[in-house]
Chains A and B, each alone.
Chain A
């Protein structure tokens, strides 16, 4: 059951934050409100009147609009086409394109959401696509706007802009349901907060509630929001990347001349809005993507000449960013997934056979060590929660002797309990002298884990800064603004200050 007797009331003109962990049931609730799912029990009242929504069409008619976490835009359509879709106006049976353009311009002007009606959506940056989504909802005259994790893909600056837009909408009398798991944003914008945990309403709060109290409400116990770690003791240079150039799938330059080094015993965090080359950088290091020019070396061995299998076996651990696509085989059991990297080697097997007893023993060991909650090691991984699936990946990648550990979005879609655990293991890996590279689009995660932060923007490393760099400066860097002053000193691993002082929220 994703939703268990939830009550929620939204007043006109308020921002109502719906706070909850991944998988708490926030999106399920909103999908019912938007007519994509039908509730088994309970009712929806709009202006005091009971309504049933069989499809989004009914919800739209009742004045409800939704901006989904994954944008619902057709990439090959223009902005105007996307906005008109579903409520097209026609003249003599043909689409009234002029009127569609005019409507887009009107709404975008009225609410201060700049939007080019003739641009192709696939060519727009994420922030602009989100504006299109909001304009799309507004052209349908909604009174209640649901924003599902709208800030997940935005830079801090874009987030600020979005919050301003939200305030403007409320001033114009619209109500907003703001779904998120980010406490800072909730406190910045919400008029009221409803916290959901495991499909139930566990409390309502006001924005002046302290963060740790909100977090405890959300998770169900007191949580430490900070990553506990000692100052790093960086050793030899393990990973060294020089002049790296990599293309993306479309053949467009994604990594454009990157130089990076990661030392033994330090965590280098890569911050940046998604899609600025981080994915391609990591894939190139892992041999999953061809390198155009440049070199990637681990302890002076050239990785670009090796296959991914060789790279893994030379002592590199890798947690891919898309867990279900690249991290696990969902239909395979926990045990099988735990030896995916070594199934063909003693003691787990050889070219001809698999030693299921040895695999089972190893699996039970790792399940205990990494606190993987599965009914047995023979359960299919796909049935586990996101957090436990991720722990399977981390356990597997850490079960080999490592020189370098690379984690891409290590806690995406993972519950707070598992986040704490995974962060702890990453720090422990650092402390035993492994070089660690963490890529995350969650700035808090990078700041919490990293001993040095490299900010990537449009395929380049704009700056390498210490983790106590002020957030607004990091935000500017993520938006590509380096500033003029002696900003962004290149910060070397050797002289790292105590790093745990700037806490994550």
Chain B
């Protein structure tokens, strides 16, 4: 016996009541800090010139304009106030609204600083945000389908790449954008199929399989690009671009019109799928069973649900959607395939899935947020802002860490996520 002979150590008597530093107060500290940052830093750095937010693509027709310095300080004060409310423990019912207000005011303060003396075209920003969000939405939905049924899908990046590659290849050869889109989905399904068989049938660790599949997709598409596409770009790498459809009447609504009703099919597909997956998950037999299989597969088995079959179905459906999301890169964004052109978008989609708490609408919100960050990064580098655009590109990952660390409410994955089902 070592005989730990320490005398009785006094422990501080903590109160049995709810701790003072509860979640709201801790959030309050964070919001106060960013509010202070906005007032002091943005306020000091912002030139005292007019910041114009315009509806047109040039400096004319400002929908809203404000002195940059004044705006930066004003919105900073609003953020500070929201943080103060949280910190004081007031209005607990409006906790989420206060948090959102604080973050929004912080973003606006930042914008006032950046836009001071310049202009920010609103329509372009919103539609750019949405377009950048499209692949993220589709990728995150693929993740929702797989993970709600209990299969982790880290291979979204690989599915994107295969989708992008197939879209370019088949789209060029068939000179049809629709053939390209269709084969993009098939490309995603190929990766999803390998993932499904290895994870469900052979019980390989799902995260490891996902990462390996990403590398496989990178290698295969990279090789074929160099050997096949690069030498014969004309016949293999010039797919038609996806047409933009304008819906008469609706397209004339300010801001919303050009963004939603003068755009391409993939944007609509992504938005519609968010609703479809949400309602299917919550309201249909398939959805109930999918969630049961992802939460408690044994329980599902004992009422006669084919656990593995349903997981196969969902992972393959996910591959279909992520593959279509990959088509965005070649058929919408650039018009040709390039080696590793998705550049980590699949991982941002994964981040959107987690940040969105494994729900379709959460994923939509997260994807839009990340899309906005990317769009803003492009804008900043275009106007020669002193803020490195890399900072904004880091945002999705930073936000995910914050989400996973449980700072923004509780993030709860499906209980059986990542666990292969073996009958005992």
Q: Give the B-binding residues of A (Cβ under 8 A).
A: 34, 36, 55-57, 60, 66, 68, 71-77, 81-82, 84-88, 90, 93-95, 136, 245, 253, 291-293, 295, 297, 300-302, 304-306, 310, 313-315, 400-401
**Is the pair A68, B302 in contact by a Cβ cutoff of 8 Å?**
yes
Any A CB within 8 A of the CB of B11: yes
Given contacts A72-B298, A95-B285, A301-B6, contact A85 B292 (CB under 8 A): yes
A66 to B285, CA, bound (A): 22
Using Cβ atoms and an 8 Å threshold, which residues of chain A touch B9?
A: 302, 304-305
Q: Give the A-binding residues of B (Cβ under 8 A).
A: 1-6, 8-9, 11, 13-14, 16, 283-285, 288-289, 291-292, 295-296, 298-306, 415, 423
**Is the pair B13, A293 in contact by a Cβ cutoff of 8 Å?**
yes
**Is the pair A36, B295 in contact by a Cβ cutoff of 8 Å?**
no
- Given known contacts A302-B8, A313-B1, what 16 new A-B pairs fall within 8 Å (CB)? A36-B302, A55-B301, A55-B304, A72-B296, A74-B300, A77-B291, A84-B288, A85-B292, A85-B299, A88-B289, A93-B284, A292-B14, A310-B2, A313-B2, A313-B4, A401-B1
**Is the pair A95, B288 in contact by a Cβ cutoff of 8 Å?**
yes
Using Cβ atoms and an 8 Å threshold, which residues of chain A touch B288?
A: 77, 81, 84-85, 88, 95
A297 to B11, CA, bound (A): 13
Using Cβ atoms and an 8 Å threshold, which residues of chain B touch A34?
A: 302
CB distance from B320 to the nearest CB of A (A): 20
CB distance from A156 to the nearest CB of B (A): 28
Using Cβ atoms and an 8 Å threshold, which residues of chain A touch B302?
A: 34, 36, 56, 66, 68, 72
The chain A residue sitting closest to B304, CB to CB, is A57
Using Cβ atoms and an 8 Å threshold, which residues of chain A touch B305?
A: 85-86
Using Cβ atoms and an 8 Å threshold, which residues of chain A touch B292?
A: 74, 77, 85
CB distance from B74 to the nearest CB of A (A): 39
Of the candidates B2, B16, B298, B423, the one having the most CB atoms from chain A within 10 angstroms of its own CB is B16
**Is the pair A60, B304 in contact by a Cβ cutoff of 8 Å?**
yes
Using Cβ atoms and an 8 Å threshold, which residues of chain B touch A60?
A: 303-304
A-B contacts, 24 of them at CB < 8 A, read A36-B423, A55-B306, A60-B303, A71-B299, A72-B302, A72-B303, A73-B296, A73-B299, A75-B295, A75-B415, A77-B291, A87-B303, A87-B304, A94-B284, A95-B285, A245-B16, A297-B8, A301-B4, A301-B5, A304-B11, A306-B4, A310-B4, A314-B3, A314-B4
Using Cβ atoms and an 8 Å threshold, which residues of chain A touch B415?
A: 75-76
Of the candidates B283, B296, B300, B302, the one having the most CB atoms from chain A within 10 angstroms of its own CB is B302
**Is the pair B304, A300 in contact by a Cβ cutoff of 8 Å?**
no
Given contacts A57-B304, A86-B304, contact A301 B299 (CB under 8 A): no
A86 to B300, CA, bound (A): 7
The chain B residue sitting closest to A93, CB to CB, is B284
**Is the pair B1, A292 in contact by a Cβ cutoff of 8 Å?**
no
CB distance from B32 to the nearest CB of A (A): 25
CB distance from B66 to the nearest CB of A (A): 44
A265 to B306, CA, bound (A): 56
Given contacts A76-B295, A85-B292, A90-B284, contact A305 B304 (CB under 8 A): no
Using Cβ atoms and an 8 Å threshold, which residues of chain B touch A306?
A: 4, 6
Using Cβ atoms and an 8 Å threshold, which residues of chain B touch A293?
A: 13-14, 16
Using Cβ atoms and an 8 Å threshold, which residues of chain B touch A302?
A: 6, 8-9, 11
Using Cβ atoms and an 8 Å threshold, which residues of chain A touch B6?
A: 301-302, 305-306
Using Cβ atoms and an 8 Å threshold, which residues of chain A touch B306?
A: 55
The chain A residue sitting closest to B306, CB to CB, is A55
A314 to B298, CA, bound (A): 43
- A-B interface pairs (CB < 8 A), number: 110
Across the interface, A56 reaches (CB within 8 A) one of B8, B285, B303, namely: B303
CB distance from A401 to the nearest CB of B (A): 7
Pairs A-B, 8 closest by C-beta atoms: A86-B303, A57-B304, A305-B9, A72-B299, A302-B8, A88-B285, A72-B302, A74-B296
Across the interface, A94 reaches (CB within 8 A) one of B5, B283, B289, namely: B283
A310 to B300, CA, bound (A): 44
Using Cβ atoms and an 8 Å threshold, which residues of chain A touch B289?
A: 85-86, 88
CB distance from A5 to the nearest CB of B (A): 23
A487 to B309, CA, bound (A): 58
CB distance from A462 to the nearest CB of B (A): 19
A291 to B14, CA, bound (A): 10
A84 to B415, CA, bound (A): 20
Using Cβ atoms and an 8 Å threshold, which residues of chain A touch B299?
A: 71-74, 82, 85
**Is the pair B1, A314 in contact by a Cβ cutoff of 8 Å?**
yes
A401 to B2, CA, bound (A): 12
CB distance from A200 to the nearest CB of B (A): 22
A93 to B415, CA, bound (A): 27
**Is the pair B8, A300 in contact by a Cβ cutoff of 8 Å?**
yes
Using Cβ atoms and an 8 Å threshold, which residues of chain B touch A82?
A: 299
A427 to B5, CA, bound (A): 29
CB distance from A258 to the nearest CB of B (A): 13
Using Cβ atoms and an 8 Å threshold, which residues of chain A touch B300?
A: 74, 85-86
CB distance from B101 to the nearest CB of A (A): 28
Using Cβ atoms and an 8 Å threshold, which residues of chain B touch A314?
A: 1-4
A76 to B292, CA, bound (A): 9
CB distance from B1 to the nearest CB of A (A): 6
Across the interface, B303 reaches (CB within 8 A) one of A85, A301, A304, namely: A85
Using Cβ atoms and an 8 Å threshold, which residues of chain B touch A81?
A: 288
A75 to B1, CA, bound (A): 45
A68 to B295, CA, bound (A): 17
**Is the pair A56, B301 in contact by a Cβ cutoff of 8 Å?**
yes
Using Cβ atoms and an 8 Å threshold, which residues of chain B touch A87?
A: 303-304
CB distance from B263 to the nearest CB of A (A): 29
CB distance from B288 to the nearest CB of A (A): 6
A441 to B301, CA, bound (A): 29
Using Cβ atoms and an 8 Å threshold, which residues of chain A touch B11?
A: 291, 295, 302, 304-305
CB distance from A254 to the nearest CB of B (A): 13
A293 to B423, CA, bound (A): 44
A314 to B4, CA, bound (A): 6
